[in-house]
A and B are shown apart, each in its own frame.
Chain A
């Protein structure tokens, strides 16, 4: 027995030795070739077999770095020599691969996702000096592994809230779903999962993001110069790519926290050909509510789930089909008479193909639906259902041709049809109902865009990327459109007639050219300056009288009265890395000009409103800011510090006195927060334990204080005049988490405990201040704090 053990140990140490002393591989058939040796290297995920797009290989011998294409392939042209290739990809362990190149050949590299066993964690380590070298401005990619290092929210990594830790990205307040990117509205972000737009990716009114992190490969936020292949939203693109299952073996993840649980399974449907990944996540808050004694709360319900299915078929080395399905559902009822529910569903089918080594094709079709309902079932004659929704059907085609590693052209087009059901009220108490059915006219529109982008380098120092996108939009019938008297404010009273458009008739059309350009000048390998400009068009508006995205919001297409939003953004950035890319720093400055954003008339009535134009006033926006960013990528302590000074302003331009807001002067938007500071750190205590902390500070958001009080019908009322002139108190909060990795037996049962506390020192950060006159107290200001106490969560996750 002892001998056997010894033998095993010996064998193990031998294996370990074999792992550290990697043999230099000879590539190619030696026919005496001296140069022009073509080696094609492809990197894939060891588990899933998925091609790793955007991985890098560096050749220390020549000092060159290459980025893998859409197929995960590098095409290297080398001289006959020995090379120590180093492959890197964000969230994966680095692979050292020494070769001797003697002739044309291929290499297949299988990369492994990095784990806590690593001494050092590399964050955003896709390509260490990418921030300096690329012409991309303001594009940030976070892998799920990076996000998992941040303190979790209610036991879970939250994609959207994590984005708000980046410079230039804020949220209105705690538990609000929308992002405000560089002073843009929450509706100006395109959030897409597997290429399909998602309209309201939230659970519990914004407490949670409804994307299950286990189903996500990576998340990229474009906030500055947006590549021309994206369009349709004015401020930013949040591109979330799904994670394919393994083509090799079955596995899964299970996580339980004190708020929710989730399970996912993935594996080969057809070995090495077709993989599947499915996941479901749900809450048990309902169960908690039902255990309470208060009858109203006991009869309340709040539940949610989300589910994903991803089927990926890498049918050949050059062709891959992926089908992705996503759905999220919430319902929330109070005292069982009114239930609010919302649901997102998206399907997308993607085909990626490498037609030739230089030409890649990507085609995508999608269907995305968002539905929102209120059911009133009080059992009276006034029971009703109120439904609204949005449906998008579209397709995209994208071609990329690479003349060389540093000279690429992309062209493509996209088309989509949008149908909006703004609201339908259906009485449900039968014939004696005291409610009339009501329906706001459905809206139909089509958007089409064609785009072109060219990216190239002029020597070492200069990189250029320029592109153009042409968007065209049609607003279509059937619809009855009002006409209003000229030179009068648009109100019910100034309507003078109606025109009826038939099915498919064009009511109005808009189009526009959106140039995108960025220029990079490198002073040296670790310092560069970049300049960027872009113009974006948006043909959809979120009609919301609240400060954030709420499920009750109505989406509205651009029409005769509400013109498309147009945003011009100018940006300038300075980037410098220190100590061999361990520290990244940047300073970015931007100015943004927004046309045709909407403001609301005082007390606007937006629900079931057939003539929404009578409740809105056109406005302009402008925003500007400076973003400072320092990041440590490597070492036991990693993290970043960002500070942003920015302003986001609005101005109403109207010739009519009754529509003027704040005397026609610029005023702060609802999400104007001049100073924002974020500190994020992750410290590896030992090989299996890490601690992370996030601290955020921001100026309080604008609020309107009453100028006076007056009496009316027994109430002390507040007289409000100028909007957003004051501010709520400053926001600051510290979150911390401890992550402890249990080593299970073998590789199959590794457990991961995460204990997190949000709002460690329990600050009552006001979400809002509001003014009430309630019986028994003088009229006064009240403060609503969403997270008013330290909030602990505990979760346990295993992989199998």
Chain B
């Protein structure tokens, strides 16, 4: 219903602007975020504490360190997770650890201070393959700007199994794309010692491969109520065109993950909250309840969700020449290797057609 607001905006009646509200100091509630799948690990569980709503100055979400974190399956196997000392609050499973379809998994946490938490068991259901990925260009008008934003919406083609209730979550994986830069335009940053602003071209290099992992831009979920047992095509991800990612060839990757009905409900509430428009038609804010409980104090609120599911990956190569709309190319006047996550090596399995 965000569109309705566009109409009102357009009639020059409505407007949306930031508004100062006095939000009371928020409680520091334990927050759990984790995803265990059937792909080879390591899988990560992040622990943090909630903070006062607002910017980082009003409240900073802090990691929870030095907890003991284990995952237990219904056969009694216990796996310890180790905290990454460079990335506090993130606890990793051993390399190669993976979930098995048909088993149930429970996350258990003991904090340094002694409190014990557990998740409700999550059962791994099988997931169908993505038969193929396709994409379409999406253009997004921006209020008050002449240039539209745009990006690539990824569309999965899948055969939904008829014999089960499926709940899908799609995660955008790591993209790899050809990065073009202009080392010939390189200019040393002027300083007091070197006030020269003349170009100082570098010899190398104008072409690299860059990898980039996106946070989820939007939550992509579906249940099969409306397509049980059918072949269907659904939007499963979105990668914004920033003028760098889609210059030549881009390889995008999507994971299709089966989640439980409860996890789906949780994700739906998250999605609902991220898509709120403030309009007449918004549902009221909902309390997003997760699957973690405190064993010491049943009244204690624990945020977040420990999810577990089967995962199927699919990738697609997108050639810039095939795209019917692109952002103007961003010029980077430097050696492409200075940018993060870049390499001159052709990545493994790189075979665009």
Assess whether A800 is interfacial by the CB under 8 Å rule: no
Which of A176, A545, A715 has the largest number of chain B CB atoms within 10 A?
A: A715
Q: How far is the CA of A785 from the CA of B233 in the complex (A)?
A: 37
- A706: chain B residues at CB < 8 Å are 23, 26, 53, 285
Say yes or no: A789 contacts B15, CB within 8 Å.
yes
For residue A404, CB closer than 8 A to chain B, the reply is no
Q: A691 → chain B, closest Cβ, in Å?
A: 24
Complex contact A710–B13 (CB within 8 A): no
A786 pairs with B54, CB closer than 8 A = no
Decide if A783 touches B16 in the complex (CB within 8 Å). Answer: yes
* Residue pair B285, A784 in contact (C-beta under 8 Å): no
Inter-subunit contact A714/B215 (CB<8 Å): yes
B24 an interface residue at 8 Å Cβ cutoff? yes
Give A176's nearest chain B residue, CB to CB. B280
Cβ-defined contact, A603 with B268, below 8 A: yes
Decide yes or no whether B287 CB sits under 8 A from chain A. yes
| B20 near A206: Cβ-Cβ < 8 Å | no
Q: Does A7 contact B (CB under 8 A)?
A: no
Shortest beta-carbon distance from A297 to chain B in Å: 6
Q: Are A713 and B215 within 8 A (Cβ)?
A: yes
Chain B residue with minimal CB distance to A704? B285
- The CA of A433 and the CA of B273, in the complex, are separated in Å by 30
Q: B48's closest neighbor in chain A, by CB?
A: A711
A162-202 vs B, CB cutoff 8 Å, 1 = contact: the mask equals: 00000000001101100000000000000000000000000
B308 touches A (CB below 8 Å): no
Task: Closest B residue to A492 by CB, please name it.
Answer: B261
**Residues of chain A contacted by B348 (CB below 8 angstroms):** none
Task: State whether B269 touches A710 (Cβ < 8 A).
Answer: no
If the complex has contacts A603-B269, A787-B14, are A780 and B55 also in contact, measured as CB distance less than 8 A?
yes
Known contacts: A704-B284, A767-B280, A768-B278. The answer to whether A781 contacts B33 by CB under 8 A is: no
CB distance from B50 to the nearest CB of A (A): 4
Which one, B1, B52, B286, contacts A708 given CB within 8 A?
B52
Assuming the contacts A434-B232, A706-B53, A709-B26, asked whether A294 and B16 have C-beta atoms less than 8 A apart, the reply is no
Query: Among A65-73, A414-422, A769-777, which stretch is in contact with chain B?
Result: A769-777
Kindly state whether residue A302 has any CB partner on chain B within 8 Å.
yes
A-B contact number at CB 8 A: 251
Q: Is A435 an interface residue (CB 8 A)?
A: yes
- Are B29 and A717 closer than 8 Å at their CB atoms? no
Residue pair A546, B282 in contact (C-beta under 8 Å): yes
Q: Mark A283-311, 1 if CB is under 8 A from B, else 0.
A: 00100010010111100101000000000
Please indicate the chain B residues that have their CB under 8 angstroms from the CB of A771 in the complex: 53, 276, 285
Contact between B287 and A720, CB atoms less than 8 A apart: yes
B168 CB to closest chain A CB (Å) equals 13
SS of B interface (majority) = loop
Instruction: Find out whether the CB atom of B13 lies under 8 angstroms from the CB atom of A791.
Output: yes
Considering the complex, which residues of chain B in the window 222-259 have a beta carbon less than 8 Å from any beta carbon of chain A?
225-234
User: Does B18 lie within 8 Å of A425, measured CB to CB?
Assistant: no
B50 touches A545 (CB 8 A): no
Q: Which of A195-237 contact B (CB under 8 A)?
A: 204-206
Specify which of A175, A289, A436 lies most central, judged by the most chain B CB atoms within 10 Å of its CB.
A436
Asked whether, in the complex, the Cβ of B270 is within 8 Å of the Cβ of A435, the reply is no
State A670–B20 Cα separation when bound (angstroms).
Answer: 21
Contact yes or no, B54 A708, CB < 8 A? no
The digit string for B198-222, where 1 denotes a CB below 8 A from any CB of A, is: 0000000000000000011001000
Are B225 and A718 in contact, with the CB atoms below 8 A?
no
- Contact status B285-A720, CB under 8 Å: yes
List, in ascending order, chain B residues with CB within 8 A of A302's CB.
Answer: 7
Q: Are B230 and A436 within 8 A (Cβ)?
A: yes
Contact A712 B31 (CB under 8 A): yes
Cβ proximity bits B5-30 to A, threshold 8 Å, 1 near / 0 not: 11110111111111111011011110
Q: How many residues of A contact B (CB 8 A)?
A: 86
Q: Which of A120-128, A345-353, A547-555 contacts B (4 or more CB under 8 A)?
A: A547-555
Quick one: which of B50, B53, B55, B270 contacts A715, CB cutoff 8 A?
B270
Query: Would you call B14 and A709 a contact (CB within 8 A)?
Result: no
Residue of B nearest to A769 (CB): B19
> Shortest distance in angstroms between A733's beta carbon and chain B's nearest beta carbon?
13
Contact across chains for B16 and A778 when beta carbons are under 8 A apart: no
CA–CA, A292 to B9, complex, Å? 13
Q: Which of A753-800 contact B (CB under 8 A)?
A: 764, 766-773, 777-789, 791
- Near B by CB (< 8 A), chain A positions 538-569 give 545-548, 550, 552
Tell me if B100 counts as interface (CB < 8 A to partner A).
no
Chain A residues with CB under 8 A of B55: 778-780
**Are the CB atoms of B287 and A721 closer together than 8 Å?**
yes
Contact B53 A779 (CB under 8 A): yes
Complexed CA–CA distance, A656 and B141 (Å): 46
* Cα-based distance from A717 to B304 in the complex (angstroms): 10
Task: Tell me whether B59 and A709 are in contact (CB under 8 A).
Answer: yes
**Which B residues are in CB contact (< 8 Å) with A380?**
233
Q: Is the CB of A782 within 8 A of B285?
A: no
Docked Cα-Cα span, A435 to B234, in Å, equals 10
Q: Which B residues form the contact surface with A (CB < 8 A)?
A: 1, 3-8, 10-21, 23-24, 26-29, 31, 33, 46, 48, 50-56, 58-59, 61, 139, 141, 215-216, 219, 225-234, 265, 268-270, 272-274, 276-289, 301, 303-305
What are 25 sample pairs from A and B whose C-beta atoms fall under 8 A apart? A289-B10, A294-B141, A295-B139, A297-B10, A603-B288, A604-B283, A704-B284, A706-B285, A710-B51, A713-B219, A718-B273, A719-B301, A720-B285, A767-B280, A781-B20, A782-B19, A783-B17, A783-B18, A783-B19, A783-B278, A785-B14, A785-B15, A787-B13, A788-B15, A789-B12
Known contacts A295-B141, A715-B216; 18 additional CB pairs below 8 A are A175-B280, A205-B4, A545-B284, A546-B283, A552-B1, A552-B281, A604-B283, A707-B26, A708-B52, A709-B51, A712-B304, A717-B274, A721-B287, A768-B282, A771-B53, A778-B54, A781-B19, A789-B13
The 9 A-B residue pairs whose C-beta atoms are closest, nearest first, are: A714-B215, A778-B55, A708-B26, A434-B232, A783-B19, A602-B286, A784-B278, A770-B278, A788-B15
